[in-house]
Amino acid sequence: MKKNESPFKLAVLISGEGSNLQAIIDAIDAGELNASVEVVISNKASANGLNRAKQAGITAVVVAPVKGRTREEYDQCLLETLAPFTPDLIVLAGFMRILSADFVHAFADKIINIHPSLLPAYKGMDTHQRVLDAGEPYHGATVHFVTEKLDDGEIIIQSRIKIRPDDDAESLQKRVHVEEHVIYPRAIQWLTTRKQDLVN
């Protein structure tokens, strides 16, 4: 890393276990990813990913939904929480909320998500079972830019695995998770390189 090259600042949004967050933290610690996680935000106080963040010395914040508050009002609170951290990239890592158009526009081309399917196929939920029910030969994961449309946006990277005869939804989910932990840090590193090229 060049002396004048500062780490790519990430804000990671989670709702649960935070295994992809951990993969990102591990890649940074291993020197494989020139980035720093500035803040981890969860919409659920019970999310284990918050503990992962705290153990890594990362600021962990809960922005919980309030009954009667609209999605737009929630996202405005999210924007206000993010503002002091000035992130270069918003990383959705199992964040189980659909972002409003205002939020997406505020971070245009700066929000990425990982989805457990080979997009554009199998958008939405329950992808592992749906792939099995359809008799697909392959499954996988996709990192993509976030737009106003669900599981849409430019594809950054994909990883494909062959479905085994004995796979069920649970085994397939575990195998896809392994691929996610490889390609998410790789996608972010590619974006840090792209940004540096634009600056130079």
Which residues are annotated as catalytic? 115
Q: What is the DSSP string of 72-117?
A: HHHHHHHHHHHGGG--SEEEESS--SPPPHHHHHHTTT-EEEEESS
| Strands, E assignment, the chain | 8-14, 35-42, 59-62, 89-92, 111-115, 138-145, 155-162
**How distant, in Å, are the alpha carbons of 32, 72, 86, 189, 199 from that of 40?**
20, 20, 13, 18, 26
Collapse the DSSP code of 47 into the 3-class scheme (helix H, G, I; strand E, B; otherwise coil) and give the result: coil
| Angle, CA of 146, 151 and 156, to the nearest 5° | 60
